[in-house]
Every structure is written in C-alpha cells, then in structure tokens.
Amino acid sequence: MTPTRPVGDNAAARGRGATRRGFLFGGAAAGVGVAAGVALAGTPALAADPKPDSTGVNGSRTVAFHGTHQAGIETPVASYVTYLALDLHREVDADGLRRLMKLWSDDAARLTAGTPALADTEPHLAEDPAGLTVTFGFGPGALDRAATSKRPSWLRPLPAYDIDKLEERWSGGDLIVVVSADDQVPMAHATRMILKDGRGFASLRWRQDGFRRAYGSQPGGTTMRNLFDQVDGTANPRLGTPDFDTVVWATGDDWMAGGTSLVLRRIEIAIETWDEVDTVGRENAIGRTVTTGAPLTGTAETDEPDFEAIGPHGFPVISDVSHVRRAHHHFTGARIFRRGYNYDLGPTPGADDSVVSNTGLLFASYQADVDAQYVPIQEALAKADLMNVWTTPIGSAVFAIPPGCAEGEYVGQGLLG
Ligand code: HEM
C-alpha cells in the first residue's frame, strides 16, 4: 500500500469553493475555509462556486483566473493536464496577438469559473469545472510578432545535450496553453474552445496529455509517484511560501514581473529495462528509498539528504552520480519548481510484443530565469546521472509565462497593451 505523505504539492489545498489567493495566503488547510470571492490586496478574485458539496463531490470547485500571477502554477496540482503548443499564422502581428490574448483570456476567465464561454455551443460542459485552470505562455516566435525589445534573454531553445533525442513533434511552439483540472470533461471542453477561438490566429503544433492520481484516490498532499514507482516532487519549494516566490516569480519593473518561465521536457522512460533493476539498484540511482521516498541517509520523506554520510564500505551512502545529488542545489547552486505528469501512450499495435509500453514523464519546470536556474541543473544531470540510463528527453520547449491579469484585462497586456 502506498504510504500517506501529506507534504507534496498535489492535492494539499483542494477544497470546495476556495480561491487561489486563499491557497496562497491561507496555507493549504486554511485555504479551504476562505470565503468565496474574497479579493485580497491587488488581486481581484472571481467568485468561487458556492454550491454545496456535502457528498464529497468535487466538480463545483473553482480556481480564480484573475490575480497577480496566472493560475495553474502556485495552485494545488490537479490530476490531469493538457499542454497545447500552437504556431501563429504567418500574417498575425502584434495587433493580432493582442486580439487573440483578449479572446483567450475571456474564455479562460469564464470557463474556469464554471460558466460558458461567449457563444459556447455546449454550455453545460462548462459546469462543474473541477478546479480547471488555463495558463498561457509565449514562445520565442510570439515575441518576434510582438515586435518588442523587451525579450527575456533566456527565451530560446535550451542548449543541446548529449542525452537528448529530441523530436520536432514534441518540441518548440510560438504559444503554450496549459489546461488542467481534476476532471477531463471540462478540460476537453476548454481545450476545444481555446482551439476553436484561436484557429483564426494559430494552428496546433503539438498536444501532450498527462495524468497523476485521480481526485480522491489518495489523501490530499500525497506526493505523486512517477511510472518508475518513485516518489517524485518531494524537494520542491512549498506553495505559498517566500521560498516559492524567490524560485518561481520574476521580479523587476517590466512586463514579466510576476510572471515566470516554463521548461517542458518530454522524457521517455525505459520501463522495460528498469523492470530488470532490483530495489537496491533503483534506490542507488535516485538516492532515495522506493517505499517512502526518504533520502538513503534518512527515514522520512522530508528528511534532508546527508551527502557527507559514508557507508560501511567507505563509499558515500548517496552515490556521487545519483539523481538527487547531481540535481541538488548544494551542488548546482540553483533551484526550480517541478510539476511533472505521467504520460502513457501504450505500445504500438502490431509492433514487437516484448515492448509493452510507450511511457514517460511530462517534466515541467517553473523558474524565474531559465539560464540562471534550469540550465545549471540540466547541465549537471546531462553530464552524469544514473537515471540517464533509463530516461531519454524526446521533446523540449521553453516559454515565457506572463503575470496574471485583473478582471477586464488580458494575459500579456503588459507586453501588448
Ligand atoms: C524522467 C526524468 C526524471 C525523473 C524520473 C526524475 C525523478 C526524480 C525523483 C524521484 C526525485 C526525488 C524526489 C524529489 O525531490 O522529487 C527527483 C528530484 C529532483 N529532480 Fe528529477 N527526475 C527527472 C528529471 C529531472 C530533470 C530533467 C531535472 C532538471 C533538469 C530534474 C531535477 C530534479 C531536482 C532539482 C530534484 C530535487 C533534488 C533535491 O534537491 O533533492 N529531474 N527527480
């Protein structure tokens, strides 16, 4: 049985009718009780759905679209995600991009509140949004169209790494839309509305779908397991803390202040050969135990790893080339906020019967500055990490995620307004 670990970011603050700022400022448990629609300083909040939830039904829960930051990042992680990357049509200029962002922001504000989009032909599908969030971002191509000199220096493809086997069909994009919820019906509807309203401006480049445990399967706050069977997400900054602010949100006085960056890597996992590795080998590769996710030098998931500890045979208890040692800020000097989702496409019918999986991780990382935070960690892992034996990055994209907007405004207004 999977042990209960109420420390992760995934479902910690799920609660009926709670607002996003409630989660941030009230903390996980306290946020649940925050009154619907309360607007905190500088952050207008949409009214949360007041429907009763006495049966444990989750669908009526809303997450405010408007706010200082976009929703879907410092909000408790939902069970499902759909990433949509789009390329702008050749003729779309700054004015076109502005119109698109106005349209999309309006759609997202309505749908995340559980109300139909304008001219919604399937309005009932918007009901019960189950914590739906829609997050928008700009790739390098969108900044070209915005014809701006105010371009984050890190907004470009990541450097090439020897471990990469990148495929065009999972990489790049002018725009990203991240649709997430605890229920795939409102997600399917929101995805369709976004694509429908966007089709005059942009075409779908790729779509990637990911999942975690379904809402209610595990106690709130349980850290997710990836499909390697590892507890994944423990060392993340906690939502609503100053630590999170420092790691994730861009500062300054330009259009990105209050925004962040998203690095999305599609990482295939070689589960067939991982199957052949015993527990000792698995734990040595990551530096944590399989059962609880505790560091090999500790007993509880949240124990700090002791990288100095030496085992009975004179070797470090946590291997020099284990994933957590190589990724730890003690060695890289950098931190990121990870929000991974599993993907599983299944084997190709008719192909080699010995391969029964096509699976991996949609590895999403948010940080204020890609070059200063993500790249040093990725470089360290690309040079040496036992997990590289079983992982292959096959997709990669970098996006600027603008700050949130107030009611009546649109995402990206600081850049395009
Ligand atoms: C399929 C690929 C990957 C898998 C399965 C994986 C899995 C894990 C696991 C199980 C942990 C330990 C628990 C935790 O703190 O979350 C971890 C930690 C971590 N991973 Fe990964 N990871 C992958 C790729 C990456 C990549 C691409 C990066 C960044 C470039 C990264 C950065 C980190 C960091 C920063 C930590 C925390 C280290 C610490 O401070 O203890 N991981 N990862």
pLDDT one-digit tens code per residue, 39-85:
333 333 333 344 444 567 889 999 999 999 999 999 999 999 999 99
Question: What is the Cα–Cα distance from 137 to 264, expressed in whole angstroms?
Answer: 12
Q: Residues with Cβ < 8 Å from 58, sequence gap 6 or more?
A: 14, 16, 130, 131, 182, 183, 215, 216
Going by CA atoms, what residue is nearest to atom 36 of ligand 1? 327
387 CA distance to ligand 1 middle (Å)? 9
Q: Is residue 3 part of a domain?
A: no
Q: Is residue 40 part of a domain?
A: no
What does the pLDDT read at residue 54? 56
Contact present, 220 and 212 (Cβ < 8 Å)? no
What does the pLDDT read at residue 187? 98
Residue 21's alpha-carbon distances to 8, 131, 410, in angstroms, are 19, 14, 19
- Domain containing 307 equals 80-214+223-416
Contact present, 161 and 382 (Cβ < 8 Å)? yes
Query: pLDDT higher for 193 or 3?
Result: 193
What does the pLDDT read at residue 5? 35
324 CA distance to ligand 1 middle (Å)? 6
Annotated catalytic residue, options 9, 107, 232, 385: 232
What does the pLDDT read at residue 220? 84
327 CA distance to ligand 1 middle (Å)? 7
Q: Is residue 9 part of a domain?
A: no
Percent of the chain scoring above 90 in pLDDT = 81
H helices present in 275-322, as ranges: 279-286
pLDDT digits (tens, 9 = 90+) for 98-144: 999 999 999 999 999 999 999 999 999 999 999 999 999 999 999 99
Pocket test residue of 212, 307, 338, 390 for ligand 1, highest count of atoms within 8 A of CB: 338
Instruction: Please count the structural domains in the chain.
Output: 1
Question: What is the Cα–Cα distance from 259 to 248, expressed in whole angstroms?
Answer: 8
Give the pTM.
0.89
Looking from the CA of residue 305, the nearest atom of ligand 1 is: 41
**Mean pLDDT over all residues of the chain?**
88
What does the pLDDT read at residue 346? 86
Pocket test residue of 170, 225, 290, 324 for ligand 1, highest count of atoms within 8 A of CB: 324
Query: pLDDT higher for 17 or 202?
Result: 202
Question: What is the Cα–Cα distance from 231 to 222, expressed in whole angstroms?
Answer: 9
**Is 303 one of the catalytic residues?**
no
Q: Is residue 317 part of a domain?
A: yes
Q: Is residue 132 part of a domain?
A: yes
H or E stretch at 184: helix 184-198
- The binding-site residues of ligand 1, defined as CB within 6 angstroms of any ligand atom, are 226, 228, 230-235, 265, 267, 269, 286, 288, 293, 323-324, 327-329, 336, 361, 363, 377-378, 381, 387, 391
SS3 per residue for 31-75: HHCCCCCCCECCECCCCCCCCCCCCCCCCCCCCCCCCCCCCCCCC
Q: Is residue 66 part of a domain?
A: no
365 CA distance to ligand 1 middle (Å)? 10
Q: Is residue 382 part of a domain?
A: yes
What does the pLDDT read at residue 404? 98
Instruction: Tell which phi-psi region holds residue 337, choosing left (phi > 0), alpha (psi between -120 and 50) or beta.
Output: beta
Going by CA atoms, what residue is nearest to atom 23 of ligand 1? 363
> Average pLDDT in the 209-213 region?
97
Question: What is the Cα–Cα distance from 357 to 360, expressed in whole angstroms?
Answer: 9
Q: Is residue 106 part of a domain?
A: yes
